Chains A and B, each alone.
Chain A
Amino acid sequence: MGFLKKKRWQRRHLVETFMKFIMRFSLVIVAGSLGLILWIVVVRGTPALSLDMVTKIPEGGYYMGKGGGILNAILGSLYLASGGTLLAMIFSVPIAMYLKTYLGDSKWGYYVRLSLDVLWGIPSIVYGAFGFTLMIALGLRASLLAGIIILALIELPIMTRAMDEVIRRMPIDLEHAALALGSTKFEVALRVVTRQMLPGITTAILLGFGRGIGDAASVLFTAGYTDRIPTSLMRPTASLPLAVFFQLGSPYPEVQQRGYAAALILTIIVLAVSLGSRWLSARLNKYTIK
């Protein structure tokens, strides 16, 4: 009797318990870092956050602690990220469609996906440096347009892969049914795939936007920085990440405080976009055939 009883102090059971413990501990560390980051940004950012911060552009002496806000950077970042996302959309939708309808899981599909993943892995500082060479070649100066182009390049692989992952799960039957009815592949792509792609496109837009708005190293080279709100594509523009970065480097504590506030604003935007994409894609998925 009792031959099946657990021998808790047997080596392998001790090891099992220990491993489970350190695994849970690691998970707590990883999740805890997120909590810690958010907590720090909120605690440091809120004191300097004010209505002026989000409604005014820097006034004279702003960088020595006088009045004004970072509306220039907020708007600049929104322009940059929206423009970049829009531009990347124009290219990523056809690529994702082509991958699905023509290449599928063929060898070429594999190469294209691999190259997208590789592009994804190129750091933004290299894109920035590339943007710099591009601007010299084209005689372009640091401007909203240059920033948008580089952000579009950065967002392109993320957005395409996100769409690709979603429509890859699209059931084959549906597509074959359409083909059997005599549609050409293009018509299939347009009618069936587009409808099914809606969740993919939404997720992609939000992912791309989130990545674009947070990117600092590339806009440093291409978009420049200015205290004014950009009025044309050819003018330089401020951006939130750079607003954070420059103000952190300031010797004035008031300005550093505002750097934290700018970081808080940026974090709120990015988290809202990230949570929004989860919520939206969960909702939209209900209306497509799985």
Chain B
Amino acid sequence: MDAHIQVKNLNVYYSKQQALKNINIEIPKNQITVIMGPSGCGKTTLLKTFNRFLELTGGTQLTGEVLVDGQNIYDRDVDVTEVRKVVGLLAQRPSPLPMSIYDNVVYGMNIHRMKKDRKEYKAAVRHYLEIAGLWDEVHKRLHDPATSLSIGQQQRLCLARGLAVEPEIILGDEPTSALDPISSQNIESRLIELKKQYTTVIVTHTLRQAKRLADYVIYMYLGEVIEAGSAREVFNDPQHERTRAYLEGQI
């Protein structure tokens, strides 16, 4: 397996409480990895360690390593903004920035000074809105405020904004939980299309979504990884009793 992210001996503590216990996993390149488990099991915490969002919460401590392409993102001389450029995030609730649709997509590119002139920016905005499946709906009103979009459209806009800084990895923290079924399906099909180019890690608590999306599955329980493996193996023949119980709907 070609691992894009490797997690080694990762422990996370919230003040005194241990949230993640000795995590050792590998996340395969250009596949969709789904992290699942009952609520409070540390799925989101694990996801937040991948783009160093955990440190935005006060009072957290972390030991161990998270390697992206072999480089530990928690090394002293690592630039956290570079990490977040490489590892994009699709949040649980769509969070359009309080500016126009166009400016939302341009935002990250501008921050990193990725394009030279307006022409390039315009082309890029179109490109990423097309990838996110939003172009046809918004190309006539690019300069409307992003908040005028529906929730589902907002989430696709956030996807476009995230992709525009050319990440290699996309994290999704229950990215469809705030959306209606049709919008959810739309986002899911985008993610499946995108997996050829991006390594994708999704946290979900719905088993059905996990089955629809996953190539690789990580099952967590009470801060520990119980089982990790290819989707076919885990869903059809779980090795661990707890995983079996979860898949059968007992937890």
Interface residues of A (CB under 8 A from B): 1-7, 12-13
Contacts and interface: CB of A to CB of B under 8 A. Distances in A.
A264 B80 CA distance: 50
B70 A3 contact: no
Interface size class of B (residues with CB under 8 A): 10 to 19
Nearest to A6: B79
Contacts of B68: 4
B79 A2 contact: no
Contacts of B81: 12
B71 A6 contact: no
Contacts of A3: 69, 71, 82, 86
Interface of B: 68-71, 73, 75, 77-79, 81-83, 86, 111
A166 to B, nearest CB: 25
A5 B83 CA distance: 9
A12 B81 CA distance: 10
Could you tell me the dominant secondary structure of chain B's interface residues?
A: mixed
A283 B179 CA distance: 46
Of the candidates A2, A4, A7, the one having the most CB atoms from chain B within 10 angstroms of its own CB is A4
B78 A6 contact: yes
A1 B71 contact: yes
A165 to B, nearest CB: 24
Contacts of B73: 4
Contacts of A1: 70-71
Nearest to B82: A4
Nearest to B68: A4
A3 B111 CA distance: 18
Contacts of A12: 81, 111
B71 A2 contact: yes
B70 A6 contact: no
A4 B79 contact: yes
Nearest to B79: A6
A3 B70 CA distance: 10
B86 A4 contact: yes
Nearest to B85: A4
Contacts of B70: 1
A235 to B, nearest CB: 57
Give the top 8 A-B pairs by smallest Cβ distance, nearest first. Answer: A6-B79, A4-B78, A4-B82, A6-B77, A4-B71, A5-B77, A4-B83, A4-B79
Contacts of A6: 77-79, 82
A13 B111 CA distance: 12
A3 B75 CA distance: 12
B75 to A, nearest CB: 8
B133 to A, nearest CB: 30
A2 B203 CA distance: 28
Given A5-B77, A5-B79, 8 more contacts: A3-B69, A4-B68, A4-B71, A4-B83, A4-B86, A5-B82, A12-B81, A13-B79
Nearest to B76: A6
Nearest to A10: B79
Contacts of A5: 77-79, 82
B107 to A, nearest CB: 14
Contacts of A7: 79
A2 to B, nearest CB: 7
A3 B78 CA distance: 9
A164 to B, nearest CB: 29
B21 to A, nearest CB: 26
A5 B82 CA distance: 8
B162 to A, nearest CB: 18
A4 B168 CA distance: 13
A4 B68 CA distance: 9
B137 to A, nearest CB: 33
A4 B52 CA distance: 13
23 contacts: A1-B70, A1-B71, A2-B71, A3-B69, A3-B71, A3-B86, A4-B68, A4-B73, A4-B75, A4-B78, A4-B79, A4-B82, A4-B83, A4-B86, A5-B77, A5-B78, A5-B82, A6-B78, A6-B79, A6-B82, A12-B81, A12-B111, A13-B79
A118 B172 CA distance: 48
A251 B111 CA distance: 63
Contacts of A2: 71
A7 B68 CA distance: 18
Of the candidates A1, A2, A6, the one having the most CB atoms from chain B within 10 angstroms of its own CB is A6
Nearest to B86: A4
A12 B110 CA distance: 12
A6 B52 CA distance: 15
